[in-house]
Structure 1
Amino acid sequence: MKRIAIKNICEVYDGPHATPKKTETGPVYLGIDAITEDGMLDSSQFSYLSKEDYIKWTKRVVPQENDIVFSYEATLGKYALIPRGFYGCLGRRLAIIRVISEEIDAKWLYYYFRSPEWNAFIKNQTVKGSTVDRISVEEFPNYTIPVISLKNQKKMVAVLEKIDAKIRTNNKINDYLEEMAKTIYDYWFVQFDFPNENGKPYKSSGGKMVNSNGHIIPESWTFCKIQDIISNICTGLNPRDNFKLGTGDIKYITVKNLTPNGTLDFTGCDTIDESARTIVHNRSDIQIGDILFASIAPLGRCYLIQSEPTDWDINESVFSIRANTDIITPAFLYLYFMSDAFIKHATSSSTGSIFKGIRINTLLETELCVPPLSVILKFEERLASIFPLKSKNYEEIQRLSNLRDWLLPMLMNGQATIED
C-alpha cells in the first residue's frame, strides 16, 4: 500500500515545556491525565489557568476543533480529538497534529493513530530515557501513513463513530445513574432525611437525634469501624516470581483500571493466563457483591462487582472488600467509599513517599455512622433499578469496545471493507 509522510498532509505543533500556576476556573490546561486510554477527553481531569497565562501558553499553538492531541513523553500512545468549543492550551509532553490536506479526514487519521499497526510502529520509534520514554516530535512529521481514498476514509469513520457514539451515550447514562445513587445516599445517610414511618424526611420532620461521641446522629444509629461491618478484605498478587504478565487473555486489573465513576476500564490492561489467575484468585477470592477499592491515590475509585468475574482478577494495589450482610449491604458500603466525606478522610490519612495511598489497617480503623439494617434495605429498594441498569450498560460498553478494537485494524489494513 502506498504511503505518505505526515509532513505532507499535516502540521505538527509541540506544546509548552513548562507548567503554569493552576486556577480554580478559566481556560483549560490540558494534561496527559485528561486523555483516556480509549481516546476521549475526560473533563473531570481538566486543570485550569488564568487568561493571562493562557495567552502565554498558546503562543506556539491554539488548539482547534479536530486537531489531534497526542502524548509524546512519559505516558505514550494517547490520542484524542479536540472538540468544538474547546477553550484551553496544551500541557507539558503533549503535541498537536493539524490536518491541512483536503484529502485527509482528521477523524480517520485519529482512528489510524489508535490502530495496532501505528502503535507497533511507534513502539519501535520510542527513545528509552533514564527517567521517561519519549518519541521525537521533530521526527514525527517524517513518519508515514497509508494512502487511502477520502471516500473510504469517511466510510470507516462513519462506522467507527457510530460505535463510539453509543459508547459515549452509555457512559453518560451510567454517570447519571451513579450521581443519582450518590444523591440518594447523601440525602439518606449524610443529611439524615431518609423516610420516617410516615414517609416524611426524618431529620427535617423533627426525627429524634442523639449525641454519639460528639456526633449528632439519628436515634438507634451507631458508629462502627469498617472492620466491624465487613466479613473479608483481600488484595490481589504482584507478579514478581509468581507468574508472568502478557501470557494469556485473563485481564489483570490494577488501580489504573478503576474509574472515578464506579466502572472498570479494561483499556491497556495487562493479561495473565489461567494458571496465573488460579494463583491470584487463591489470594483475592473476588466474587459477586465484593467491592474493588483503589488503595493508591487518587482515592474514590471503586467498583461493585455485579457479575461473576470469570475473565479478570486483581493485583496487590486493589483491595477486595466484602460487606457483612447481617449488618449492611454491598451497595451501602460501596457508596460510602465513593462519598466525599470518606474520600476527604482517606486522602488525609494517606501515606507514602512515591505513591500515596491508604493502608489496610488505616482503612479498617475508619469509623462511619451505620443505620439499622431495615433502613439500609429500604435504601436498597430505592436503588433496585440503578445498579442492574448500570451493569447492563457497562457490559454493552465492553462489547462495543471489543467490536471497535477488532474492527479498527481490519479496516485499516484492508482485511475488511465497507460497502456503499
Structure 2
Amino acid sequence: MSSLRLGEIGKISMCKRILKSQTNEFSGIPFYKISTFGGTPTVYIDEKVYLEYKEKYSYPKKGDILISAAGTIGKTVIFDGEDSYFQDSNIVWIENDESKVTNQFLYYFLQTNPFITTNGSTIKRLYNDNLRDTKIPNVPSIQQQNQITDILGTLDKKIQTNNQINQELEAMAKTLYDYWFVQFDFPDQNGKPYKSSGGKMIYHPELKREIPEGWGVEKLENIANITMGQSPKGTSYNEVGEGMLFFQGSTDFGWRFPVARQYTTEPSRIAEEDDILLSVRAPVGTLNIADTRCCIGRGLAAINSKGGANSYIFNVMQDFKKLFDMMNSVGTTFGSITKDDLYSLQLVYPPNELLMKFDQSVKPFDREIKNRSRQNQELTQLRDWLLPMLMNGQVKVE
C-alpha cells in the first residue's frame, strides 16, 4: 500500500458562482447553499442559467463526492446526477482518477475525519490547498478498494433499507390516525366510516368545531402522566457509560429515538421506556420516544397515557407541534412551555374502546420501528468500528 495526496488523484472543482439576485424561493433548479447541503433546498435558479453554466463551466458527474468546505467541514454527499446546482467554493468535489481511487473508496475515506489538525481541532474552513495536501495514508489496489467498500456499502444499504421501512410504517400509522381522529372516519358499529356514513356530529363551543357524538374534550393532565425534566448536577455527567442515560433536550433527539451521548451518576427525573419525550424549550414541541429507561433534563418532559393509548397521545402531540410551529411563523416565538401550559393543553378525547382499537392496530408498527432502529444502532457501531481499520490497513479483506 502507498499513500497518495488528494491532489494526486484529481483536480478540485466547483460550480460557477451564482449571485443572490439569480436565485428565487419558488421554482426552477434546486440550488444548494452550504446551509442546505445534504438537505432540502430553499432557493432555486432559472433553468436557462443552469443549462448554460453546466455546459460552460465545471459540473460534477454522477457518483462524484461533493464536500462541504465551510460550515460543517468535510460533510460529504454522493452526487446522484439529478438536476441541481451548488454554491461555489463552499461546496467542492475532486475529479478523481478512478484508476487510482474509486469514488466509493474516497467517500468512505472522507468519513474518517481526515481534516483534523495536529492539535486535534477541526479547521474552520477547507481551502483547496488543505484538500490537495490531505493524505490517504494506505491506498490499496482497486480490487481491494472494491472489497472494502462492498463491506461498508452493505452495512449502509441495510441501514438505509431499515430507515425506509420505518418511515413507511410511521406514515401508515399516521394515515390511520388522520383517518380516524382528524377526518372522524373511524369504523362505526357496522364497520363503515363514521362521518362519511352520516355519523352524528356535535358542535363543541370550546373547540369551536364539530366532534363526533359521545366524544369528550380533556386536558392533557387528565389523560396522561407528565414528568417535567430536571437536570442533575453537572459534575455527574460523563460520556463513558457510567450511571444512567441522560438526555438534556432535543439536541439529543434522533429520527424517532434519542441518540446516546451522555450519562449521569446522579439521575433526578426519570422517563420510562416508551415514554413520549417532548421538548419544552426552543424548539418547543419536538418529539422522540424513550427506547430505554433514562434521566431527562429540564429541556424535556416525559409523557405516557394513563389509559395505555400512547400511540394516540404521540400523534396528538405531533398536532400540537404544528400549532407551535404556526405560531412561531407569525412572530410569536415559543422560548419554552411551562408546566401549567403543558398540563392544560386541551384535546379531543375519543371513547376508550376506540383508543384501544387504534393502539392495537398500530402497536405492531411501533414494535417493528423500535426493532429496526435498534438494529441500525448496532449496524452503525459495527460500521464505525470497521471503517478506520479498513482504511488504514489494520484489517484486511481476504
Query: For this structure pair, what is the TM-score category when the shorter chain's length is used for normalisation?
Result: 0.7 to 0.9
* Counterpart mapping for 1:125-140 below 5 A: 126-127=122-123, 133-140=124-131
**1:4–1:182 distance in 2 versus 1, CA, 3 Å:** same
- State the Cα deviation string for residues 369-404 of structure 1 (Å, max 9, x = none): 121222111111211311111111111111111111
Q: CA deviation at 1:337?
A: 2.3
Partner of 1:415: 394
**1:401–1:33 distance in 2 versus 1, CA, 3 Å:** farther
Residue identity (%): 27
* Counterpart mapping for 1:59-78 below 5 A: 61-78=58-75
Q: CA deviation at 1:363?
A: 4.0
Q: CA deviation at 1:22?
A: 4.4
Partner of 2:317: 337
**TM-score in terms of structure 2 length:** 0.84
**TM-score in terms of structure 1 length:** 0.80
Partner of 1:258: 253
- SS at the partner of 1:292? strand
Partner of 2:215: 221
- State the Cα deviation string for residues 127-155 of structure 1 (Å, max 9, x = none): 4xxxxx33334432122212322111111
Q: Is the 8 A contact 2:31 2:45 kept in 1?
A: no
- SS at the partner of 2:271? coil
**1:212–1:336 distance in 2 versus 1, CA, 3 Å:** same
**Cα distance between partner residues in 1 of 2:24 and 2:334:** 21
Select which of 324, 327, 330 maps to 1:346: 324
**Amino acid in the other structure paired with 1:23:** E
Say whether residues 1:165 and 2:165 are aligned partners: no
Say whether residues 1:143 and 2:129 are aligned partners: no
Partner of 2:274: 289
Select which of 401, 409, 415 maps to 2:380: 401
**Amino acid in the other structure paired with 2:7:** K
Q: Is the 8 A contact 1:64 1:86 kept in 2?
A: no
**Cα distance between partner residues in 2 of 1:238 and 1:18:** 49
Partner of 1:191: 183
**Cα distance between partner residues in 2 of 1:74 and 1:17:** 18
State which drifts further: 205-214 or 71-80.
71-80
Aligned residues: 386
**1:78–1:195 distance in 2 versus 1, CA, 3 Å:** same
**Amino acid in the other structure paired with 1:88:** S
**1:363–1:349 distance in 2 versus 1, CA, 3 Å:** farther
- SS at the partner of 1:282? coil
Say whether residues 1:103 and 2:100 are aligned partners: yes
- State the Cα deviation string for residues 6-38 of structure 1 (Å, max 9, x = none): 111122234658656443443223345656xxx
Root mean square deviation of aligned Cα: 3.2
**Amino acid in the other structure paired with 1:373:** N
Q: Is the 8 A contact 2:62 2:79 kept in 1?
A: yes
- State the Cα deviation string for residues 261-291 of structure 1 (Å, max 9, x = none): 5344x3xx6444xxxx233x313x0112311
- State the Cα deviation string for residues 183-203 of structure 1 (Å, max 9, x = none): 000001100011111111111
Select which of 369, 376, 383 maps to 1:390: 369
Rg (Cα) greater in structure = 2
Q: Is the 8 A contact 2:231 2:268 kept in 1?
A: no
**Cα distance between partner residues in 2 of 1:321 and 1:56:** 54
**1:156–1:297 distance in 2 versus 1, CA, 3 Å:** farther
**Amino acid in the other structure paired with 1:94:** I
Q: Is the 8 A contact 2:217 2:349 kept in 1?
A: yes
Say whether residues 1:233 and 2:224 are aligned partners: no
Partner of 2:353: 374
**Gapped regions of structure 1 (runs ≥ 5):** 36-40, 128-132
Q: CA deviation at 1:248?
A: 4.5
State which drifts further: 137-146 or 381-390.
137-146
**Gapped regions of structure 2 (runs ≥ 5):** none
**Amino acid in the other structure paired with 1:348:** M
**Amino acid in the other structure paired with 2:324:** A
Q: CA deviation at 1:336?
A: 1.9
Partner of 1:130: none
Partner of 2:337: 359
Say whether residues 1:308 and 2:292 are aligned partners: yes
Partner of 2:32: 30
**Cα distance between partner residues in 2 of 1:356 and 1:18:** 34
Q: Is the 8 A contact 1:290 1:320 kept in 2?
A: no
- State the Cα deviation string for residues 224-247 of structure 1 (Å, max 9, x = none): 3333332113235387x4445545
**Cα distance between partner residues in 2 of 1:112 and 1:140:** 13
Say whether residues 1:210 and 2:207 are aligned partners: no
Q: Is the 8 A contact 2:268 2:295 kept in 1?
A: no
Q: CA deviation at 1:159?
A: 0.7
**Cα distance between partner residues in 1 of 2:147 and 2:305:** 53
Say whether residues 1:13 and 2:13 are aligned partners: yes
**1:95–1:293 distance in 2 versus 1, CA, 3 Å:** farther
Say whether residues 1:278 and 2:249 are aligned partners: no
Q: Is the 8 A contact 1:288 1:308 kept in 2?
A: yes
**Amino acid in the other structure paired with 2:317:** F
